[in-house]
C-alpha cells in the first residue's frame, strides 16, 4: 500500500502535518531560541520532544553522551591564529632578517593549520576536543513498534541543535562567504608552499617577491578568518534543522493519528543532538546501536532529513562529507523511487561542502541517506539569525513529509528489494 492510499483525504492530511511542523518549530523557538549543542537550550528542546512524543511513541529513549561543542568550528579560530602568526613571521623573515628559525616555526604552524582543517572539517575527526570545554547532551529516540514480529526498521531523523552564526553569510550571503573561504584557503596553500621552499633554502628573486606579497596579503585575510564565527549569536535554526526534526516526527504522528501500525516494520523518529558540533550526536547513536542492529538480523535503514527550505534544490544525498563518504545506494534509490510516487522525482545530490548526520551513520556501518532541500550557495539564512520561523517554506515541508511517508510505506511493503 502507498501512503497516499492509506487514507481518503491524503492531500488534506499533508496540509495538516505541514501545519503541524510549522507549529512545532515556532513552539520550540519561542520556548528555547537558539540551541547550541550541549547547552541548556538544546536540553530544553529535547525535553519538549520527549513530552510531546510521549503521547505518540510506544517507547522513548533518552541517550546521553558527552562532547566538546565548540571544538568543531574551533578549528577556524586555531587556523586563523596560527596563520596570522605565520604571516607575521614571514614578514619579519623577508623584510627584516632571514632567520631560519622563523621559517621553521612558520612551517610548523602552517602544518598545524592544514591538519586542523583536514581533520576537523573535511573528515570530522575529534582533534581539538581537549582544547574546549565539555558538555553533556542527549539524543531522543522515539519508537513505534510493529504489530507483529519485527522484520524491518526504518529510522527518520533530524538534528535539534542550531549553529553559531556565520558572520559573513549574514553580512553578504553565499557569495561573500565563498570569497572569504576562498581567500583564506589560497593564502593557506600559498604560505605552506612558501615556508616549505624557504626552509629548503630557495632564495630566487622572483620567489622573494611572491613571498613578500603573500606574507602581506595573509595578514588581513587571516584577520577576516578570525571573525568568521559570531560566537555571541546562536541562531534559531527553524529550517536547519527543526524542519527535519518535526518532519521526522510527523511520520510517527501521522501513523498514530490514523491508527496505522505496520505489521512487521518498526518506525523510529530521532531528534538528534549536536550535528552542528561535528555530527557528535549521530556518532554517539551509531556507536551505541550499529552492532546491535547488525546482530539483530532486522533490516534497518535511516533517512536523515535536513533543511526542508529551498524547493528547487530538493534532492536525495547519496554522497556526503564534502563528497568523501558514499551513502547507501539502495536506501537512496528507495527514497528516490518514493519521491516519484509523491510526484517529485527528486535528483541525487552531493554534500560537497560540509556534512550531514547520514555521513556519521554510514561511517558507523548503517545504511543511510539524506533528504534535504538547501540552496548550496548557500542562502543568506543559512547559519544566520535569518533562519527563523517566519522564513519557512510550506511547499518544501509538505514535499518532504510526503516523500518520508511514501518511503515508510514502501519500505514496509518490500524492504530494499
How many Å apart are CA 350 and CA 343, to the nearest integer? 22
Q: Are 148 and 212 in contact (CB under 8 A)?
A: no
Whether the pLDDT of residue 137 is over 90: the answer is yes
Contacts of 373 (CB under 8 A, 6+ apart): 307, 308, 309, 310, 311, 313, 314, 315, 396, 399, 400
Q: Are 173 and 160 in contact (CB under 8 A)?
A: no
Whether the pLDDT of residue 296 is over 90: the answer is yes
Whether the pLDDT of residue 352 is over 90: the answer is no
Q: In the predicted model, what is the mean pLDDT of the chain?
A: 97
How many Å apart are CA 242 and CA 250, to the nearest integer? 12
100 CB neighbour count, 10 Å cutoff: 11
For 19-28, the pLDDT digits (tens) are 999 999 999 9
Q: Are 137 and 226 in contact (CB under 8 A)?
A: no
Helix residue spans in 303-393 (DSSP H): 329-341, 357-363
For 177-210, the pLDDT digits (tens) are 999 999 999 999 999 999 999 999 999 999 999 9
How would you class 105 by CB atoms within 10 Å of its CB: exposed for 0-12, middle for 13-18, buried for 19 or more? middle
- Give the model's pLDDT for residue 353: 87
Bridge-based pairing state of the strands 367-373 and 314-320:
antiparallel
Whether the pLDDT of residue 392 is over 90: the answer is yes
Whether the pLDDT of residue 382 is over 90: the answer is yes
- Give the model's pLDDT for residue 155: 98
How confident is the model over 34-61, as a mean pLDDT? 97
How confident is the model over 299-309, as a mean pLDDT? 98
Give percent of the chain with pLDDT exceeding 90: 98
How many Å apart are CA 6 and CA 255, to the nearest integer? 10
DSSP SS3 for 74: helix
How many Å apart are CA 278 and CA 266, to the nearest integer? 28
Report, in angstroms and rounded to the nearest whole number, the Rg of the chain calculated over CA atoms.
23
Whether the pLDDT of residue 400 is over 90: the answer is yes
How many Å apart are CA 339 and CA 320, to the nearest integer? 20
Helix residue spans in 310-389 (DSSP H): 329-341, 357-363
Amino acid at each position: 500500500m502507498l501512503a497516499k492510499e492509506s487514507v481518503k483525504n491524503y492531500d488534506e492530511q499533508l496540509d495538516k502535518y505541514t501545519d503541524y511542523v510549522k507549529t512545532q518549530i515556532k513552539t520550540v523557538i519561542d520556548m528555547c531560541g537558539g540551541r547550541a549543542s550541549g547547552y541548556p537550550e538544546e536540553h530544553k528542546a529535547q525535553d519538549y520532544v520527549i513530552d510531546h512524543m510521549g503521547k505518540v511513541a510506544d517507547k522513548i529513549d533518552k541517550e546521553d553522551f558527552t562532547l566538546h561543542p565548540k571544538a568543531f568550528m574551533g578549528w577556524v579560530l586555531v587556523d586563523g591564529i596560527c596563520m596570522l602568526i605565520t604571516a607575521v613571521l614571514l614578514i619579519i623573515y623577508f623584510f627584516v632578517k632571514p632567520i631560519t628559525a622563523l621559517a621553521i616555526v612558520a612551517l610548523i604552524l602552517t602544518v598545524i593549520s592544514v591538519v586542523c582543517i583536514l581533520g576537523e572539517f573535511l573528515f570530522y575527526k575529534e582533534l581539538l576536543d581537549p582544547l574546549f570545554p565539555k558538555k553533556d547532551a542527549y539524543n531522543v529516540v522515539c519508537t513505534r513498534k510493529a504489530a507483529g514480529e519485527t522484520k524491518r526498521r526504518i529510522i527518520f531523523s533530524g538534528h535539534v541543535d542550531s549553529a553559531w552564526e556565520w558572520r559573513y553569510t549574514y553580512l553578504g550571503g553565499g557569495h561573500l562567504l565563498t570569497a572569504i573561504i576562498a581567500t583564506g584557503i589560497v593564502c593557506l596553500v600559498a604560505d605552506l608552499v612558501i615556508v616549505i621552499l624557504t626552509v629548503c633554502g630557495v632564495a630566487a628573486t622572483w620567489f622573494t617577491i611572491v613571498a613578500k606579497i603573500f606574507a602581506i596579503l595573509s595578514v588581513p585575510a587571516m584577520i577576516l578568518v578570525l571573525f568568521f564565527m559570531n560566537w555571541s549569536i546562536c541562531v534559531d535554526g527553524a529550517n536547519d534543522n527543526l524542519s527535519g526534526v518535526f518532519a521526522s516526527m510527523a511520520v510517527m504522528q501521522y501513523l498514530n493519528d490514523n491508527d496505522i501500525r505496520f505489521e512487521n516494520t518498526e518506525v523510529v523518529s530521532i531528534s538528534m543532538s549536536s550535528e552542528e558540533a561535528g555530527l557528535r550526536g549521530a556518532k554517539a547513536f551509531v556507536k551505541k546501536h550499529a552492532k546491535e542492529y547488525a546482530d539483530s538480523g532486522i533490516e534497518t535503514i535511516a533517512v536523515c532529513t535536513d533543511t526542508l527550505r529551498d524547493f528547487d534544490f530538493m534532492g536525495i544525498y547519496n554522497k556526503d562529507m564534502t563528497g568523501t563518504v558514499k551513502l547507501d545506494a539502495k536506501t537512496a534509490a528507495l527514497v528516490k523511487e518514493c519521491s516519484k510516487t509523491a510526484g517529485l522525482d527528486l535528483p541525487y545530490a552531493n554534500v560537497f561542502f560540509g556534512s550531514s548526520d547520514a555521513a556519521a551513520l554510514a561511517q558507523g556501518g548503517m545504511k543511510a541517506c539524506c533528504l534535504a532541500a538547501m540552496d548550496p550557495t548557500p542562502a543568506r539564512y543559512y547559519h544566520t539569525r535569518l533562519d527563523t520561523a517566519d522564513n519557512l517554506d510550506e511547499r518544501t515541508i509538505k514535499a518532504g513529509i510526503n516523500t518520508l511517508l511514501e518511503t515508510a510505506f514502501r519500505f514496509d511493503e518490500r524492504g530494499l528489494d
